[in-house]
Chains A and B, each alone.
Chain A
Amino acid sequence: MKVTINGKEQEVSGIKSVRDLLDHLGLDCSKVAVEVNSCVIKRDEYDQTAISHGDVVEIVRFVGGG
């Protein structure tokens, strides 16, 4: 299915949830913020939040320092 991730349309398969998507991208769940269709998703809902065809996803990965 096609999903837009950080402004780029990408073809992904076998992705059902936000958690699946983060795993697919190799991202550490504890260091990201995720927005799906303009809604920020809580990390304890990553497993239950579905990713569907046409969804617009923004993912920010934070690095330490401040």
Chain B
Amino acid sequence: MKILVNERPVVVGEGTRLYELRDTLYPGADCIVVNGFPSPVDRTLREGDRVVFIKRGECPAPEEFEALLTARHTPGVHEKIRTATVGICGLGGLGSSVAVALGRIGIGRLILADFDVVEPSNLNRQCYFVDQIGMPKTEALKATLMRLNPYLKVVTHTQRVDEASVATLFEEVDVMVEALDRAEEKARLVEAFLTSYPTVPVVAASGLAGFGPANEIETRKVMKNLYVCGDFTSEAMEHQGLMAPRVGVAAHHQANAVLRLLLGYRP
């Protein structure tokens, strides 16, 4: 019977039980994940089971590390996304959070673009840290991503993106994320990308300011290849700021939409 143990193919006899396998291969493992879910009890193994044995507190061997990072994924997801490339234009409240979410699940390659540096007023919503103030956002975010998933390929462009450069910088992406701040820039980026690559989906965002109900944030298909996440009305302006909770909801709507598109589902 063929199963996977820490992502390696292993053949076991019919009737082999989980704890028996642990005692043979990973004695002392105190966390067992089966098919993406922590298994609380012993059971008989089945054909195709994906089992991950983890010993808490221990750093895994390099050849096993990637398997452990994705132990809690829905089985089959990582294989599909590890060869994907996602572009993110804008690394602020939306873009930095989308990048971290996609980085954690092991998207193969991220192409990130932003001209700006980290400054203190960013920290109320953006995935940066006090010790990164003054650093270009591209560098700071890449350093953070490498800390949470060293297997990522991260390509950075520390520059403003315009209609001319969008087509070259993001030529190879499977999905494009619009994570800019100004409405005019959002509109221009979406138009420039979709006229250059009309068959590549774009996930944009509009309407995420303030502290209105999170339930008002939604993901909507608005064109053949354009999805927009947000409430479509809450504009960032005086007396309506941008803050981590609601911005994060929109960003994770975007990240989930990207994942669904890569897996072949409509967001």
Contacts and interface: CB of A to CB of B under 8 A. Distances in A.
A and B form one complex:
yes
A20 interface: no
B111 interface: no
Q: Which of B188, B206, B208 has the most chain A CB atoms closer than 10 A to its own CB?
A: B206
B106 interface: no
B179 interface: yes
A65 B195 contact: no
Interface in B202-254: 204-209, 222-224, 226, 228, 230, 232-237, 242, 247
B135 interface: no
A58 B223 contact: yes
A31 B195 contact: no
Interface in B145-194: 179-184, 186-188, 190-191, 194
Contacts of B223: 33, 35, 38, 40, 58, 60
Interface residues of B, number: 39
Contacts of A30: 183-184, 187
A3 to B, nearest CB: 16
Interface in B19-47: none
A11 B113 CA distance: 43
19 contacts: A33-B187, A33-B226, A40-B195, A40-B198, A40-B223, A43-B187, A43-B188, A60-B187, A60-B190, A60-B222, A62-B184, A63-B232, A63-B233, A64-B183, A64-B186, A65-B209, A65-B234, A66-B179, A66-B236
**3 closest pairs, A vs B, by CB?**
A65-B236, A63-B235, A62-B186
Interface of B: 90, 92-95, 179-184, 186-188, 190-191, 194-195, 198, 204-209, 222-224, 226, 228, 230, 232-237, 242, 247
Given A65-B242, A66-B179, 11 more contacts: A31-B187, A43-B191, A60-B187, A62-B183, A62-B184, A64-B181, A64-B183, A64-B186, A65-B181, A65-B234, A65-B235
